[in-house]
Amino acid sequence: MNEPVRVAVTGAAGQIGYSLLFRIAAGDMLGPDQPVILQLLEVTPALKALSGVVMELNDGAFPLLHGIVTSDDPKVAFKDADYALLVGAMPRKAGMERGDLLSANGGIFKPQGEALSEVASRNVKVLVVGNPANTNALIAQQNAPELDPKQFTAMVRLDHNRAISQLAAKTGAPVSAVKNITIWGNHSSTQYPDLSQATVNGQKALDLVDQQWYEEEYIPTVAKRGAAIIEARGASSAASAASAAIDHMRDWALGTQDGEWVSMGIPSDGSYGVPEGLIYGFPVTIKNGEYSIVQGLPVSDFSRQKMDATAQELTEERDAVRELGLVK
Ligand SMILES: NC(=O)c1ccc[n+]([C@@H]2O[C@H](COP(=O)([O-])OP(=O)(O)OC[C@H]3O[C@@H](n4cnc5c(N)ncnc54)[C@H](O)[C@@H]3O)[C@@H](O)[C@H]2O)c1
Ligand SMILES: O=C(O)C[C@H](O)C(=O)O
């Protein structure tokens, strides 16, 4: 059995937190040999509700759960954290785009970036889930001068999982047969779920579906799935978001399978002509806790236009948070 690691989760009394914490405690994120200490951050008025969640975590009698810390102070919750899942932020309501949350939520991520920089483990792996996730990750990263920018990532894994599931349903294959989908760009309706390299049972996905379905049904269904869930449930996705966060962190910590990639929102190094510094969804492989962008994939004119459009939106979001003084 390994020494326990510290996992910080913000917004821990919220709806995603309620699914996420129990999965982490059960070992779904870091494996069956890795004990965890949960360090939970909430705003002061939510600490009472959080104390109830802690009672339930204790009542789960999870063998891997070696301790729980709760606080309304990021410097306590992030102290020596090895993993930080930044979930705490306001969700959107029907009729809003995720970018509409920038001014409400952006301010949360500057002090959290500063606190991570000051007190977290020097190797902390940070995942931003709170929307707009890519630009919030940029804000946290830009305010964490003592950490490597590559330590900050944003969640496009829910989109990636949605893209797998929609393709599996269309082709009648199990989800495990679908490989190498990419979500390029922003976790927003401009994202580009790219099937050009995807396979289903080893066959090229685009040979199995027609182009019109791909362009006119598949892409919008994946890109607008969050809104469809809000419409149906009256609240934004929670259990599927928690599950995607587990997938993102598990793969980052434990690695991807040979010959397969996953999508992660990471700082662009200029690959594929994406402006450097934007937190952008890329296809990545992961080994020994380090992710690398899959290089050399062909980019059609159709892909280029979609990849540029979502980069343009992220550039505009970055300009907006610059105006608010949240990034340099
Ligand atoms: N990236 C994705 O794929 C994805 C998917 C689903 C939801 N989300 C986003 O995740 C966020 C959380 O969603 P939810 O459904 O859990 O919302 P929720 O409202 O149920 O919970 C959010 C929690 O965050 C807390 N919080 C607010 N400000 C905080 C702060 N400064 N520090 C710590 N905690 C704070 C709130 O008190 C609340 O308990 C939303 O922004 C939502 O849009 C992202
Ligand atoms: O769509 C939302 O606002 C919530 C979340 O980002 C999602 O994709 O379900």
Q: pLDDT per position in the chain (328 positions), as tens?
A: 899 999 999 999 999 999 999 999 999 999 999 999 999 999 999 999 999 999 999 999 999 999 999 999 999 999 999 999 999 998 888 888 888 888 888 889 999 999 999 999 999 999 999 999 999 999 999 999 999 999 999 999 999 999 999 999 999 999 999 999 999 999 999 999 999 999 999 999 999 999 999 999 999 999 999 999 999 999 999 999 999 999 999 999 999 999 999 999 999 999 999 999 999 999 999 999 999 999 999 999 999 999 999 999 999 999 999 999 999 8
Question: CB-based contacts of 61: which residues, under 8 Å, 6+ apart?
Answer: none
Q: Final residue of a domain: which of 106, 133, 154?
A: 154
Reply yes or no on whether 66 is catalytic: no
The 10s digit of each residue's pLDDT in 56-98 is 999 999 999 999 999 999 999 999 999 999 999 988 888 888 8
Q: Is 26 annotated as a binding residue?
A: no
Closest residue by CA, ligand 1 atom 25: 11
- State the helix-helix crossing angle for 102-119 and 133-142, rounded to 10 degrees: 40
Enclosing domain of residue 234: 156-318
Q: Final residue of a domain: which of 99, 134, 154?
A: 154
> Residue 223 C-alpha to ligand 2 middle, in angstroms?
10
d(C-alpha 283, C-alpha 265), whole Å: 9
Question: CB-based contacts of 249: which residues, under 8 Å, 6+ apart?
Answer: 29, 30, 83, 85, 125, 127
Residue 83: φ, ψ to 5° = -135, 140
Looking at the domain assignment, is residue 51 inside a domain? yes
> Residue 128 C-alpha to ligand 1 middle, in angstroms?
10
* Pocket of ligand 2 contains residue 98 by CB under 6 Å: yes
Looking at the domain assignment, is residue 104 inside a domain? yes
pTM of this prediction exceeds 0.95? yes
Q: Quick one: which atom of ligand 1 is closest to the CA of 18?
A: 16
Looking at the domain assignment, is residue 265 inside a domain? yes
Q: Final residue of a domain: which of 154, 183, 200?
A: 154
Interface TM-score (ipTM) > 0.90: yes
Q: Quick one: which atom of ligand 2 is closest to the CA of 91?
A: 3
> For a pocket test of ligand 1, which of 10, 16, 72, 143 has the largest count of ligand atoms closer than 8 A to its C-beta?
16
Through-space distance between the first and last CA atoms of the chain, rounded to whole angstroms: 43
Q: How many domains does the chain have?
A: 2
H or E element at residue 65:
strand 65-71
ω into 132 cis (within 30 of 0): yes
* Pocket of ligand 2 contains residue 99 by CB under 6 Å: no
Looking at the domain assignment, is residue 232 inside a domain? yes
